[in-house]
Homo-oligomer: A and B are copies of this chain.
Amino acid sequence: MQLTDSTPNVPELLYLLHGDPTDLAEALAGMRAADVAEALRDLQPAPAAKVMAALPFDLAVQVFDEPELEGHRCEIIQQMGEKVAAPLIDAMSSDQQADLFRELPEDHRPRFLKVLDAPTREALSVLLRYRPDTAGGIMTTEFVSVPTTWTVDQTLQHISKVGRAKETVYTIYGVDPDKHTLVHVVSLRDLMMADRAKPVGEVGNRRKPLAVSPATDREEVARTISKYNLLALPVLDEGGHILGIVTVDDVIDAIVRESTEDVQKFGGMEALDEPYTEISFPRMIKKRAGWLCALFLGEMLTATAMGHFEGEIAKAVVLSLFIPLIISSGGNSGSQATSLIIRSLALREIRLSDWWRILLRELPAGLTLGIILGVIGIIRIVLWQKFGWYDYGEHWLLIAAVVGGALVGVVTFGSLAGSMLPFLLKRIGFDPASASAPFVATLVDVTGLIIYFSVAFAILRHTLLM
């Protein structure tokens, strides 16, 4: 509705840049951080650094905290220089600081680390140890924790004082007063409705808190937050102390990224890991060429298989007409089955051990779909022959039988191969999402040819293929 009325466009920004700096600052001050970040993405680093310098400090920090600025942030910061950038970086949330330093070229990091506050530097070096696709890699260290012996009143006053600097104040972590381990999680809502004199540890539900370890995969974190409708999830060390929290907004970003990766992998390529519009040409070619070559090498087996049937084709050229039709139908049914299974595995609707249940379901499904296509294929040949649109020779009825029979076999095999490939990949330790549509199609093409020519040989060996 009114989503875009405050978003400036790039020409506007550039115009303001060349005018009075106070005009620029004024125009930007009323904007939301996400909108400023979006506009900055379209600017070169030098003007973007100028815009950042003109922003009120609080807004500038929020802009740098936007994950949307990833990939641009580090260029802007290098443009600003470490002296100007230091207070901004210091004020960023710790998960975004870590992301920023991951983006900086290795040899520039020390220069920027040097000018930061000692505590920021220390926290950063801990966060940078975790892989970016784990809970440790996306967590932030700014959370509210209090001893469970504190009263509700004490805690609420504490939040009023320190709340500004925390990623979220809506979930409060209660720690053991002696051992400092996490023992209780309570929502701000529960605190506000509780008796002010009660100890925090006695407010809300007394269940054991949900938590993850820093090595937990971000997909797993996303699933937990989404399943339990949490606003944040604590990350604990082995002793049960809180290292940080992962908040729901980071999880949405992670879910969107994982979906992008899955779609790209399913399309038959490596995940780009950066927007299509921003990746450099050589990097994009690299991500695409690898799988394309692998699939090509696999598909070469079709030439080998075809070589074995060269004699049959020479005897009955008419058989070659249906090769693309038949093998592609197998690929299509395989692609459907794969997309279903990949997604069910990702959503944990099915487990690795369910493979035989899926097999028992895909076998009749493949047969049914194969029979449907087989009947259509037979009807097509009969119609074309009867109406004289094409002459399949004197044995046209047998040819129709070959095509129909092969379609049943190939489509059934496609469904089975397509549904089992993700399980197989997962079993041997690969990402099941690598079972791409082209991968399945390649698998099915080679087998499809063998099925087709076997059916042809069985039906035609006393006539055309004698």
- Find the B residue at minimum CB distance from A298: B328
Q: Are B328 and A302 in contact (CB under 8 A)?
A: yes
A1 at the interface (CB under 8 A from B): yes
Q: Which of B192, B255, B343 contacts A276 (CB 8 A)?
A: B343
Q: Indicate with 1 or 0, residue by residue over A228-272, a CB within 8 angstroms of chain B CB atoms.
A: 110100001000000000001101110110011011101111001
A427 to chain B, nearest CB (A): 19
- Inter-chain CA distance A365–B322, complex, in Å, is 31
- Inter-chain CA distance A342–B269, complex, in Å, is 14
Q: Which of B249, B275, B328 contacts A349 (CB 8 A)?
A: B275
With A252-B251, A267-B338: A325-B300 Cβ-Cβ less than 8 Å: yes
CB-CB contacts below 8 Å: A175-214 with B: 188-189, 192-193, 207-208, 210-213
> Counting chain B CB atoms within 10 Å of each CB, which of A32, A259, A267 scores highest?
A267
Q: Pick out which of these stretches binds chain B: A2-10, A47-55, A108-116, A125-133.
A: A2-10
Q: Are B192 and A296 in contact (CB under 8 A)?
A: no
Chain B residues whose CB sits within 8 angstroms of the CB of A349 once the complex forms: 275-277
Interface residues on A, range: 35 or more
- Inter-chain CA distance A248–B288, complex, in Å, is 35
With A3-B210, A224-B3, A277-B350: A369-B292 Cβ-Cβ less than 8 Å: yes
- Inter-chain CA distance A84–B323, complex, in Å, is 62
With A324-B449, A347-B260, A380-B300: A156-B317 Cβ-Cβ less than 8 Å: no
A430 at the interface (CB under 8 A from B): no
- Inter-chain CA distance A216–B299, complex, in Å, is 45
Q: Which of B163, B169, B276 contacts A344 (CB 8 A)?
A: B276
Instruction: Name 20 A/B residue pairs within 8 A (Cβ), A-sorted.
Output: A1-B213, A2-B210, A34-B227, A226-B256, A256-B347, A263-B342, A267-B437, A269-B340, A277-B344, A277-B350, A288-B336, A288-B365, A289-B372, A292-B369, A295-B329, A299-B324, A299-B328, A306-B323, A324-B449, A335-B438
